[in-house]
Amino acid sequence: MRAFIEYFAAIGRTVVTLGDGLAVTGSYFLRRPVTLQYPDRTEKPMVALLPERSRGMLEVDLDRCPGCTACETACPIGCIRIEVSKGKPRLITRFDIDLGRCMNCGLCSEPCPTECLKHTKEFEGGMYKPDLLLIHFVEQPVPVAPVKKGEPGPPPKPLGSILRRLLTDPYGRKRPAPAPAPAAAASAPAPPVAVAAPQPVSASTPPVSATPSAAPPSTPATSGGPS
């Protein structure tokens, strides 16, 4: 008798658990998918969708850099190389970051006294040659920025605008004018107004005109890197 009951109890358990399992998967079937179709079907540019404090590739704003080399010292893998000339106006003659070796640990941006070395949200750095990720931030020697505690230096540029200008495409060619939306979205903490494809021209002007200061644009890969 006990075996008899157990036999039908097993059938009952099977039916109930199978039915409930189907209900679970059915509920997921009815639910909205969470997939983000990354390269080409995102609502906003990917950079605008990334979390506020995500660490992407590094960039340095030389207008605010005091040339203290604290970041170079802090880097555990030595992917930052800085050279500062002696002399009356001390000049930063080289500021190279090998983004291909950078592990995005953020140890360099912590000691930076002027917050000129920062992680952008940029992450698309696929290149056919690893050297193309060696970014030379100094195009012409720049004088170091005078550091005064509590004194605001030059205003920070939109996050990522400097890097996007220097980063080549995968073949090592200069990229076209930087995409508009990421800069606006990255700098503003509030969610930006829906920026879709239609208006690239009007929005693309600020990042371009924001950085004409230092030098006429030159080809990015001019000299051999540090290493």
Partner 1 sequence: MQLLAERIATWLGMEGLPRQAVVAGVVLVVALVVATVVLTIAGILTWAERRVAGRTQSRVGPNRVGPLGFLQWVADGIKLITKEDVIPAAADRTLFRLAPYPVIVGIFAAFASVPFGQKLIAADLNVGVLYLMAITSLVVVGVLMAGWASNNKWALLGGVRSAAQIVSYEVPSVLAALSVVLLAGTLSLQGIIGKQGGWPWEWYLFYNPFTFVAFFLFFTSAVAEGNRTPFDLPEAESELVAGYNVEYSGMRFAGFFLGEFANVYLLSAIATALFFGGWQIPGVTPDMQAASPVWQAVGVGLFALKAGTGAFVVLWLRWTMPRLRVDQLMGLCYRYLLPLSFAMLLGNAAYVWLVPQWAAWVVQGATTTVGLAVAGVFVRRVFYHIRHVGDDVSLDLARGESGTFDPQLQVRVYGAFRRRHAGDSAS
Residue numbers of the site for partner 1 (CB under 8 A)?
10-11, 18-38, 41-43, 49, 51
Q: How far is the CB of 27 from partner 1 (least distance, A)?
A: 4
CB closer to partner 1, 41 vs 86 = 41
Distances from the Cα of 204 to the Cα of 123, 165, 177, 194, 197, angstroms = 20, 12, 8, 15, 12
Q: How far is the CB of 25 from partner 1 (least distance, A)?
A: 4
Q: How far is the CB of 20 from partner 1 (least distance, A)?
A: 6
H/E element, 25: helix 2-30
Is the CB of residue 69 less than 8 Å from the CB of residue 82?
A: yes
Residue 153's φ and ψ, nearest 5 degrees, are: -80, -155
- For the CA atoms of 66, 221, 177, 162, the dihedral, rounded to the nearest 10 degrees, stands at -10
Q: How far is the CB of 201 from partner 1 (least distance, A)?
A: 24
Q: In whole angstroms, what is the distance from residue 58 CA to residue 117 CA?
A: 7
CB closer to partner 1, 19 vs 154 = 19
CB closer to partner 1, 22 vs 77 = 22
CB closer to partner 1, 29 vs 128 = 29
Q: How far is the CB of 64 from partner 1 (least distance, A)?
A: 31
Question: Given the structure tokens 């920062």, which residue do they identify?
Answer: 118
